[in-house]
Structure 1
Amino acid sequence: MSERELSQFSQTLQTPTEGERAAQWVLNAPEPPGLWRELVNSTKEIVLPNGNKSKSSGEHSKSRRMVSVLESVFPILVWSRTYTANKFKKDLMAGLTLASLCIPQSIGYATLAKLAPQHGLYTNVVPPIIYAFMGSSREIAIGPVAVVSLLISSMVQKVQDPEADPIAYRNLVFTVTLFAGIFQAAFGLLRLGFLVDFLSHAVIVGFMAGAAIVIGLQQLKGLLGITYSTNKTDIISVLAAVFKSLFHNPWSPYNFVLGCSFLCFLLLMRIVGRRNKKLFWLPAIAPLVSVVISTLIVYLTRADKHGVKIVKHIKSGLNPISVHQLQLNDPHATDLVKIGAIVAVVALTEAIAVGRSFATIKGYHLDGNKEMLSMGVMNIAGSLSSCYVATGSFSRTAVNFSAGCETVVSNIVMVITVIISLEALTRLLYFTPNAILASIIISALPGLIDVHEAYNIYKVDKLDFLALIGAFFGVLFCSVEIGLLVAVAMSFAKIIISSIQPGIETLGKVPGTDIFCDVNQYPMAVMLPGVLSVRIKSPLFCFANATFIRERISKWAIEKEEMDAKGIVKAKGKIQLVVLDMTNLTNIDTTGLATLEELYEQLLSQGIMLAITNPKWQVVHKLKVSNLVKKIGGRVFLTIGEAADACLGHRMHV
C-alpha cells in the first residue's frame, strides 16, 4: 500500500460515520433551562405574549411593549377595535335575555349559599364587569352557580352556623371569596393550570350529578314551605330532616302546589326550547315570568297570610363595600384558606370547561392561564364589594350563546339590567314565594346530570368510571368535600398505579423501513438478532417505577422468559445488546439513575451491552452530570438502528 493510500485509509478511519455524528448531537445537547428560568419565561408568556421580538430601541419600542402588555392583560383593547353596531345589537338582545334568567336564578343561588338574596344580585355586578375587561371568552356568562353555592354553604357552615349568626357567616363567606380569588390569580400567574386537571372529566361528571341531587333535595325546604335545621348535606341527613319537619311541624300545601305548578311550566319551556332552537328565548325568560306571575298571585290573594313562605325584604342599592368585613385575623383563618383553595379549583374547573366548550364551537383558542388570572382578579374585587364566589355558568352561557352574543358586552348589558333592578325593582320582589325560587333551581338541575356521558365513560375507561362513582356516592352519602376528596384520591391512585407499573414495549423493525414499533401492535415487525429493544411507556423514570422497570428488562434480557401474545416476543439467539429507547421519557431522578447503573452492571456481568437512544435534553444532562454516559461507554445514540450498528459492529438487516 502506497503512502497516499495509507493516508486516505487513516482519514477514513478518523472520519465519523453518520450514526456517530448523530450520537454526538445527542450528547452535545444544550443544558435545559433551570426552574427559575422556566418560571420567568412562563410569567413572560402571560404578561408579554410577544416576548422580546422587537429588537428596535427607543420610545417606540417601549411604548409598543407597554401596549402589548396591556393588550395581553385586557383583551377588550384588541377586539374593541373591530366592534360594530351590528355586534352591539346582538349583544344587547343576548344581554337582556341573560338578565331575565340570571336575576331569579341568582336570588335562588344566594339562598342556597345561605346568604341574603341581594348578595346573589351583587355577584352579578362587579365580577362580570371585571371579566369583560380581562377575560378572553366571548360567550361565557359570569355569576353565581349552584355547585359553588352548595360547596360554600356546606363547608363554611362547619366553621360558623348561618342560623345562629348570619352576619358572621356572611363575613366568612366574603373572606373565603378573597382567598379563592387569590388562589385563582396565583394559578394563572404561575401557570399552575395543571392543578385544575386533577379534577378529571369523569370526576366532574360524578361530582356534578351527586351535587345536583343534593341541591334538589335541599330545595324541598322551599318547595314544601318547611323549616328544618341540619348542617349536613348528605342525602340521608337531609331526607331525615325533611320527614321530621313534615311530621312534627305544621306546613301549608299551598307552597307545594304553587312550586310544582311553576316547576312543570319551567320544565315544559325547557323541552320546547330544546326541540325548537328558534324558541331558545322561552326557557330563558320562563324563570322571570314565573317570578312575576307567582308574585302577583301571592300579592293579590294574600297567600302569605295562609302559609305561603315569601322572600320578604331584599335590600336595594348597589354593592356596599365589604373590605372591613373580611375576617383575616379570624381564629379559623386556616380553615378559610383551605375552603378557598377547594372552591377556587372547583369554580375554575367549571368555568374553563364551559369556556373551552363554546370556544371550540366558535373556532378560537381559550388560554386557561389567562382565564384563571381574570377569574382571580374578579373574585378578589368581588370579595371587597359584598359578592361571593362567581364563575362561569353552563346554563346561562348556553342561553347567551343561543341568543347570538358576539362578545362579553352581553355581560355588561346584563350588569346594567341588574343594577337597574337593584335600584328600582327589589321592592316588587317582596311577595315572591320561596317555592318559586326552589322550582327555578330544581329546573336547572337536570343539565348537571349527564347519564349518557357516564355510560360513555364506563365503556371507555373502567378506572375513570370508578372515580366517577366515587365522586357521586361520596357527595351523595357523605358530604361535598368528602366526595371531592374520594374522587381526587382515586384519580391519584390511577396515576400512581400507572407510574409504578408502566407499560414496557418490545420494539422490532418494520420490514422495508427504518422504523421500530411495538411487536405486539405490529406483528410484522421483527426483532434484530441478538438485540432486545425496549421502550418505557412513561414520562418518568423515578423511585416509584425504577425497580419494576429494571426487573422486567433483566428478566427479558437475562432469563429470556417466554411470554404470551400480550407480552414480549422472545428474541432469537443470545441477547448481546439491550437498547433502552427513551423517546417517551421526559425526566429521570436520582433513583432512576442509580437503578439504570445497576441494570448496566447486571447486564455487563452476563456479557450484555446496554445502549440508550433518543433521550430528551433534561435526561441527557443528568446522564452526563452523573457520569453514567462514561460508565456505559458513551453508548448513547439517536436511533435503535444506529445503536445496533455501532455496538455489534455490522449492519443489521431484516
Structure 2
Amino acid sequence: MGNAEREDAYAPPVSVESVHRVAVPPPQPFVKSFANTLKETLMPDDPLRQFKNQSPRRKLVLGLQYVFPILEWGSKYSLAYFKSDLIAGITIASLAIPQGISYAKLANLPPILGLYSSFIPPLIYAVMGSSRDLAVGTVAVASLLTASMLGSEVNAAENPTLYLHLAFTATFFAGLFETALGVFRLGFIVDFLSHATIVGFMAGAATVVILQQLKGILGLDRFTHATDVVSVMKSVFSQTHQWRWESAVLGIAFLFFLMLARFLSQRRKNLFWISAMAPLTTVILGTLLVYFTHAEKHGVQVIGELKKGLNPPSIMDLNFGSAYLTLAIKTGIVTGVLALAEGIAVGRSFAMFKNYNIDGNKEMIAFGMMNIVGSCTSCYLTTGPFSRSAVNFNAGCKTAVSNIVMAFAVMVTLLVLTPLFYYTPTVVLSAIIIAAMLGLIDYNAAIHLWHVDKFDFFVCISAYIGVVFGSVTVGLVTAVGLSLLRVLLFVARPRTLVLGNLPDTKIYRNVEQYPKTDSVPGILILDIGAPIYFANASYLRERILRWIDDEEDKLKDSGETSLQYLILDMGAVGNIDTSGISMLEELKKNADRRDLKFVLVNPGAEVMKKMSKSKLIETIGQDWIFLTVGEAVGACKYMLHSYKPKSDIDSV
C-alpha cells in the first residue's frame, strides 16, 4: 500500500468530523499586531480606556486627575476627613522627626537632612501619589545602602562636601530612574525582587544596621566603614578600652523603653500611639537628661547644633561632571529600585485593607518626582517606609493630607525647634534605629518560606548571608541572581506530565496528582506546561522522546496494545518560536519513524499562526489538531477499533 493510501486509511472518519476544530486566527497587519503586543506588555490595565468617547474638555480633566490624583479626591474632601488626617499627621510627625535625624546619621549625612527630607517630599507625594495611607520619609535600609555604596569611594568624614553632593546626585538619578519606569510603564522590573528576596535582604540589612549602632551605644569615636559582620565585630572588640559605660547604660535603658512601648502597642491595637510617640519621648527624655546632668562632658556624644530654617536649594550642588558620576548613577539606580519595591509593596498592603487599588506606575512617577524635587532642595532618598505608614494607618488617616500635616509639623520644627536638639544624645538615635530594625527581621516569614517552598527559603537565606557576611550590594545581587536563575529554570526546564482519564468522565488530568486516573491503551497523552522557546526546545524534545520510550517499554512488558498515538496537550503553550516549530517538526518525523500518529490539542492563537506560516499544520494535518483532549482521544479510540494497526496494513 502506498504512503498516500496509508494516510487516507488513518484519516479521521466522517463521524469524527463533527468535533470542534482549532482555528487559525485571521492575519493581522504587522504594525497592528506589534502594537497590540506592546500594549498588553506595558499597559495590561489599559490606562487610556477612561479617555475613550470623552470630550476634549473632559479628557483634559481626566488627564490632570491621572497625573495629580489630589484633584480627584480633593473635591470630595470634608471636615470629618481633615480631623482624622490632622491626628494622623501629628502622630506620624512625632515619629518622623527622630527617625529622620537617626536615618540621616546612618547615611553619614548631616542630621538636619533627615528633617529636610520629611518636609518637601511628603508635599509632592500628597499631590501626585495614589495611596491614602502611605507616609513618606527616609528609610534605614536605603540610608545604609547610600552610606555603603558612596562610602566605598568617598570618605564622608574626610570629604563631607563631596559626599553630600554625591548623595544629592544619587537621589536625583534615583528619582529620574523611578519616573522613567513609571512613564514607560516598566514597573515589572521591580517584580524581580521576589518576596523571598525582600524578606532575606531586609532581615540582613536590619542585622547590619543594628550592628552598626554599636558605635553609638558604646560611645566609640572611630568605627569601620565596612558593613559585614566580621569587620564590624573586629572594630568593636579592638576598641574595648574606649567603651563608655555611661553611653551603654543609656542606650540599653532607652532601647528597653522603646521595645516595651512596641510590646504594649502590639498587645492592644488601640494603643498604637504609645509606640508612635515613644521615639520622640526618648529624644525629649534623653535631651533633658543630658542637659541637666552635663553627660556630654562624661563621654555621652550629642547631636550638636542643627541649622534653623527651611530647606536650602541644592540644585547647584548636583555633581554631573566629576569622576564620581558613575558612582552616583549606580547608587541612585540601586537605592531607587529598592525604595520602589518597599514603597509600592507597603502601599498595596494597606490599600488591600481598605479595599481600594493603587496604580503602581503612578506611584513610581510620584516617588520619582518627589526625589527629583527633593534632590534640588537638600533632601536625600525617600519612599514610603512600613513603620511610618503603619502608624499613619492605625491613626485613622483618610487621605494623603496626613502627609501635608506631617510636613507642616516638620516645618515648624525646622523654623523654631531645631536648637532644642543640641543636647540630644546620639545613643538615643541608635536605640531608635535598633528598635525599628528589630521589626524588619521577620523570622516567621522565613519559617513560612521553608514550609511552602524550599528554593524560596534558600533565596531568602542567601540574601541574608550575602548582606551580613558580604555587603548590602552583594546580598542584593546574590538574591536577585538566584531569583532570575529560578525563572530561567522554569523557562528552560518546563514540566511535562502524563495525563490519564478520570473514571466515568471525559476529563484528563495528571496521573501523579490523580492516581485513580485510567490510562488509555495505545495512546500516550502528554501535557506541556510552558511556552516553547529556543531555551527549552531541545529539553522538551528529549523529555518527550523519553516518555515515548518509557511508555513503549511498559506496554511491551505488560503485553498490552502497542503504542499507536502520541497526543500533546498544548493548552499551556501560549507562544512558540522558530526553535519550537523545528522541535515539533522533529517530533513529527520521529513519530513517523516509530509508526506513531502525532496529534496536537488546543494550541493557542500565536502557536496556530506560526504553525500555519511554517506549513507545520499541513505536515501534521488539520484533521489531527483537536480542541480538547477528550475529542482527540475519542478520535484515536475510533481509529484503534475501526482500522488495523499499521503493521498489519504494511503487510498487506
TM-score higher than 0.5:
yes
Q: Does 1:554 align with 2:545?
A: yes
Aligned to 1:582: 570
In structure 1, stretches of 5+ residues that fail to align are: 1-12
Distance 1:103 1:517 in 2: 59
Contact 1:45–1:51 (Cα < 8 Å) also in 2:
no
| Residue type at the aligned position of 2:537 | A
Contact 1:26–1:637 (Cα < 8 Å) also in 2:
no
Aligned to 2:19: 19
- 1:331-342 equivalences under 5 Å are 331-342=323-334
Contact 2:68–2:128 (Cα < 8 Å) also in 1:
yes
Distance 2:162 2:554 in 1: 67
1:42 to partner: Cα distance: 6.5
Contact 1:205–1:450 (Cα < 8 Å) also in 2:
yes
Aligned to 1:5: none
1:484 to partner: Cα distance: 0.9
1:464 to partner: Cα distance: 0.7
Distance 2:499 2:564 in 1: 16
Cα deviation digits, residues 281-317 of structure 1 (max 9, x gap) = 1111111111112112212222212221110111221
Aligned to 2:480: 488
Distance 2:60 2:41 in 1: 18
Contact 1:48–1:72 (Cα < 8 Å) also in 2:
no
Aligned to 1:602: 590
Cα deviation digits, residues 57-80 of structure 1 (max 9, x gap) = xxxx11111222222222222222
- 1:419-568 equivalences under 5 Å are 419-538=411-530, 540-558=531-549, 560=551
Figure out how many residues of one structure are paired with residues of the other and give that number. Answer: 627
| Residue type at the aligned position of 1:365 | N
Q: Does 1:224 align with 2:218?
A: yes
Aligned to 2:202: 208
1:246 to partner: Cα distance: 3.0
Cα deviation digits, residues 128-175 of structure 1 (max 9, x gap) = 111112211111111101111111111111131111111101111111
SS at match of 2:347: helix
- 1:243-258 equivalences under 5 Å are 243-247=237-241, 250-258=242-250
1:515 to partner: Cα distance: 2.4
Q: Which moved more, 1:111-120 or 1:74-83?
A: 74-83
1:497 to partner: Cα distance: 2.7
1:219 to partner: Cα distance: 0.7
Cα deviation digits, residues 254-292 of structure 1 (max 9, x gap) = 222222221111111111111122221111111111111
Distance 1:170 1:442 in 2: 25
Distance 1:30 1:555 in 2: 38
Cα deviation digits, residues 556-585 of structure 1 (max 9, x gap) = 225525689xxxx99952232222212112
Distance 1:51 1:28 in 2: 29
Distance 2:562 2:46 in 1: 58
Distance 2:400 2:546 in 1: 61
Distance 2:564 2:346 in 1: 55
Contact 1:50–1:68 (Cα < 8 Å) also in 2:
no
| Residue type at the aligned position of 2:630 | G
1:181 to partner: Cα distance: 1.4
| Residue type at the aligned position of 1:636 | I
Q: Does 1:198 align with 2:186?
A: no
1:336 to partner: Cα distance: 2.5
Contact 2:42–2:186 (Cα < 8 Å) also in 1:
no
| Residue type at the aligned position of 1:614 | N
SS at match of 2:572: coil
Q: Does 1:69 align with 2:33?
A: no
1:180 to partner: Cα distance: 1.3
Q: Which of 638, 649, 652 is the equivalent residue of 2:627?
A: 638
- 1:69-88 equivalences under 5 Å are 69-88=63-82
Q: Does 1:155 align with 2:154?
A: no
In structure 2, stretches of 5+ residues that fail to align are: 1-12, 643-652
Aligned to 1:291: 283
- 1:273-422 equivalences under 5 Å are 273-422=265-414
Cα deviation digits, residues 455-482 of structure 1 (max 9, x gap) = 1111111111111110111111110010
Distance 1:196 1:563 in 2: 48
Normalising by structure 1, report the TM-score: 0.90
SS at match of 1:389: coil
Contact 1:560–1:570 (Cα < 8 Å) also in 2:
no
Q: Does 1:173 align with 2:195?
A: no
Q: Which moved more, 1:468-477 or 1:496-505?
A: 496-505
Contact 2:106–2:147 (Cα < 8 Å) also in 1:
yes
Contact 2:94–2:279 (Cα < 8 Å) also in 1:
yes
Aligned in 2, Cα 1:505/1:30: closer, same or farther, shift over 3 Å?
farther
Distance 1:465 1:562 in 2: 39
Let me know the Cα RMSD of the aligned residues.
2.6
Aligned to 2:580: 592
| Residue type at the aligned position of 1:391 | T
Cα deviation digits, residues 199-250 of structure 1 (max 9, x gap) = 2111111111111111011111111211224221001101111222333xx4
Aligned to 1:8: none
Q: Which moved more, 1:78-87 or 1:232-241?
A: 78-87
Distance 2:392 2:612 in 1: 56
Q: Which of 265, 268, 272 is the equivalent residue of 2:264?
A: 272
SS at match of 2:239: helix
| Residue type at the aligned position of 1:159 | E
Contact 2:203–2:464 (Cα < 8 Å) also in 1:
yes
Aligned to 2:130: 136
Contact 2:24–2:609 (Cα < 8 Å) also in 1:
no
Cα deviation digits, residues 534-593 of structure 1 (max 9, x gap) = 11122x3122221221112122225525689xxxx9995223222221211222222222
Q: Does 1:613 align with 2:612?
A: no
- 1:104-123 equivalences under 5 Å are 104-123=98-117
1:367 to partner: Cα distance: 2.3
Cα deviation digits, residues 322-371 of structure 1 (max 9, x gap) = 11111122223233322222212211111122112111111122222222
1:99 to partner: Cα distance: 0.2
SS at match of 1:143: coil
SS at match of 1:560: helix
Aligned to 1:3: none
Distance 2:554 2:138 in 1: 57
Identity %: 45
Normalising by structure 2, report the TM-score: 0.91
Contact 2:205–2:472 (Cα < 8 Å) also in 1:
yes
